[in-house]
Amino acid sequence: MSDPDDPHANISQEKISVDQKDPFSVTPWEVEGQVDYDKLIDKFGTSEITSSILDSFKTITGEIHPLLSLEYFYSHRDLDWILEKYRHGERFYLYTGRGPSGMIHMGHIMPWLFSKYLQEKFNSKLIFQLTDDEKFLFNQNLSKEKINYFTRENILDIIATGFDPKKTKILVDSKHIQHLYSIAIEIARHITFSTAKAVFGFSNSSNIGMIGFPPIQASPCFLPSIIEKAPTPVLIPAAIDQDPYWRVTRDVATKMGYYKPAQIHSKFVPGLGVSGKMSSSRPETALFTTDTPELIDKKVLSAFTGGQATVQLQRKLGGNPDVCPVFWYLRYFFDTGEESEERFLKCKIGNLLCGECKADLSNHSKTFITDFQKRREKAKDSVDEFIYTGDSF
Ligand code: TYM
């Protein structure tokens, strides 16, 4: 079956290879194996978010967001620099995006929820890119019609996230390329094929559109400087899979007279199956913003857990929350830090049964998704307001 999240599924091009020695691999297009997040920091050359960065957040915002204290957002490039700039009065733009290859699941909206939080706290303008071109080029199974459909649907999810309409602009690559093209060709001129091969793993059988695509995702990093007519810092919240794009962008930034874009990287929300990130390619283990309450119940009920085979054994031996997607899902989305610690300990000593955690997850998810769906419905009236026209922000 085709995999809408995996642009290399069933395509004739040679599969893009990553370091075969590693038991896991993370690229912008696929995540395989059990990710070792610390190792990924070394491999990608990013930095961990230190307590001094958390202190800076606290100084500026008066708090540390749970997704930071829980280390869901755990890695960065130049985050300290951008916070320092902010403290000295220089505002930054936010930039994030979506490749519209399917409907939106809870993993996708994590960076969006965090971007909304940053937008509020730092009064930032946000550029949101929809890379419909990327999905068309990287997945031979997706038709333009399907991608257009997902683009329209995904825009509703973006708006439903609750971004400030006055400070948020959406660009759909194939429709608004006139605002990016001139930046993209300048970026492209600085990136050799040999760099693109090394960073993205392109090979002779990759189609030439794939090879030419990275500058398109890089260009919104510099659009704020053009809008503001002065070098403008940009912070990109996303999961760490997108980092290769920023690596090449950062390399060319100074050559083009711009600041290097800063990043804040998250881990992945796990799917509800045995392992792996939440992905549209395994819809039975992903919760989508369009799922019905019955479907949510069904998916959560059949979720894998870190529990024992029987209630008796669970009471006697305790469970293993570390490997339990239900635990992690609750931790990242719904539990407070304290609740999560308590859940962890109670599970470990056998005082908590998987059915109880599943009931919590189901109830929280149903409330969240039902509310989200109401906002999604309302979003249909405000699409135009969010589209970038180039005249103003
Ligand atoms: P896409 O559509 O694959 O993913 C959209 C965003 O969701 C993040 N993500 C996840 N986060 C947590 N848990 C998961 N299971 C999970 N799965 C996906 C991704 O990191 C991403 O932030 N090429 C991009 C689109 C894009 C973009 C950007 C993304 C264009 N410009 C700038 C981030 C920032 C893509 O296909 O994302």
| 75 shares its domain with 117 | yes
Residue 13 has pLDDT above 80, yes or no: no
Half-sphere exposure of 328 (CA within 13 A, CB side): 25
Residue linked to tokens 């896991």: 24
CATH of the domain at 97: 3.40.50.620
| 132 shares its domain with 261 | yes
- pLDDT digit string (tens) for 249-264? 999 999 999 999 999 9
- pLDDT digit string (tens) for 351-363? 999 999 999 999 9
- Write out the two tokens for 245: 């794009």
Q: How far apart are CA 323 and CA 307, in angstroms?
A: 9
How confident is the model at residue 298, as a pLDDT? Answer: 97
Residue 286 has pLDDT above 80, yes or no: yes
Helix axes 325-333, 106-122, angle to 10 degrees: 20
Indicate if ligand 1 lies below 6 Å from the C-beta of 150. Answer: no
**CA of residue 151 to ligand 1 center, whole Å:** 14
How confident is the model at residue 216, as a pLDDT? Answer: 98
| 109 shares its domain with 194 | yes
Looking at the DSSP bridge assignments, the partners of residue 236 are 263
3-state secondary structure of 98: strand
Task: Check if the beta carbon of residue 191 is closer than 8 Å to that of residue 252.
Answer: yes
Q: What is the DSSP letter of 292?
A: -
- Write out the two tokens for 210: 């794939």
Best of 76, 103, 108 for a ligand 1 pocket test (most atoms within 8 Å of beta carbon):
108
| 244 shares its domain with 316 | no
Indicate if ligand 1 lies below 6 Å from the C-beta of 27. Answer: no
Residue 20 lies in a domain: yes
Which one has a higher pLDDT value, 22 or 347?
A: 347
Residue 84's CB is within 10 A of a number of other CB atoms, namely 12
| 184 shares its domain with 296 | no
- CB-based contacts of 221, cutoff 8 Å, min separation 6: 95, 234, 236, 246, 249, 253, 258, 261
Residue 4 lies in a domain: no
Number of domains comprising the chain: 2
How confident is the model at residue 20, as a pLDDT? Answer: 52
Residue 314 lies in a domain: yes
Which one has a higher pLDDT value, 150 or 34?
A: 150
How confident is the model at residue 15, as a pLDDT? Answer: 36
| 233 shares its domain with 364 | no
Indicate if ligand 1 lies below 6 Å from the C-beta of 111. Answer: yes
- pLDDT digit string (tens) for 127-169? 999 999 999 999 999 999 999 999 999 999 999 999 999 999 9
Residue 21 has pLDDT above 70, yes or no: no
| 148 shares its domain with 250 | yes
Q: pLDDT tier at 8 (50, 70, 90 boundaries)?
A: very low
Task: Check if the beta carbon of residue 55 is closer than 8 Å to that of residue 186.
Answer: no
Residue 316 has pLDDT above 90, yes or no: yes
Q: How far apart, in Å, are the Cα atoms of 226 and each of 89, 91, 96, 254?
A: 19, 15, 17, 15
Task: Point out the domain boundary residue: 272, 293, 317.
Answer: 272
Q: How far apart are CA 215 and CA 276, in angstroms?
A: 29
Residue 199 lies in a domain: yes
- pLDDT digit string (tens) for 115-128? 999 999 999 999 99
| 131 shares its domain with 237 | yes
Residue 361 lies in a domain: yes
Indicate if ligand 1 lies below 6 Å from the C-beta of 99. Answer: yes
Residue 8 lies in a domain: no
How confident is the model at residue 34, as a pLDDT? Answer: 87
How confident is the model at residue 228, as a pLDDT? Answer: 95
Q: How far apart are CA 112 and CA 98, in angstroms?
A: 10
Residue 291 has pLDDT above 60, yes or no: yes
Best of 242, 265, 267, 278 for a ligand 1 pocket test (most atoms within 8 Å of beta carbon):
242
Task: Point out the domain boundary residue: 272, 294, 325.
Answer: 272
Best of 6, 234, 241, 281 for a ligand 1 pocket test (most atoms within 8 Å of beta carbon):
241
Task: Point out the domain boundary residue: 225, 243, 272.
Answer: 272
Indicate if ligand 1 lies below 6 Å from the C-beta of 126. Answer: no
254 is in which domain, residue-wise?
16-272
Indicate if ligand 1 lies below 6 Å from the C-beta of 217. Answer: yes
Residue 390 lies in a domain: no
How confident is the model at residue 213, as a pLDDT? Answer: 98
Q: What is the reported pTM?
A: 0.94
Atom of ligand 1 minimally distant from the CA of 236 = 34
| 88 shares its domain with 233 | yes
How confident is the model at residue 9, as a pLDDT? Answer: 36
Indicate if ligand 1 lies below 6 Å from the C-beta of 7. Answer: no
- Stretch 45-66: mean pLDDT: 97
CA torsion sign, 7 to 172 to 103 to 199? Answer: positive
| 267 shares its domain with 287 | no
Q: How far apart are CA 365 and CA 330, in angstroms?
A: 9
| 265 shares its domain with 328 | no
CATH of the domain at 289: 1.10.240.10
How confident is the model at residue 18, as a pLDDT? Answer: 44
Indicate if ligand 1 lies below 6 Å from the C-beta of 107. Answer: yes
- pLDDT digit string (tens) for 65-115? 999 999 999 999 999 999 999 999 999 999 999 999 999 999 999 999 999
**CA of residue 108 to ligand 1 center, whole Å:** 6
Indicate if ligand 1 lies below 6 Å from the C-beta of 154. Answer: no
Residue 57 lies in a domain: yes
Q: How far apart are CA 215 and CA 211, in angstroms?
A: 9
| 91 shares its domain with 211 | yes
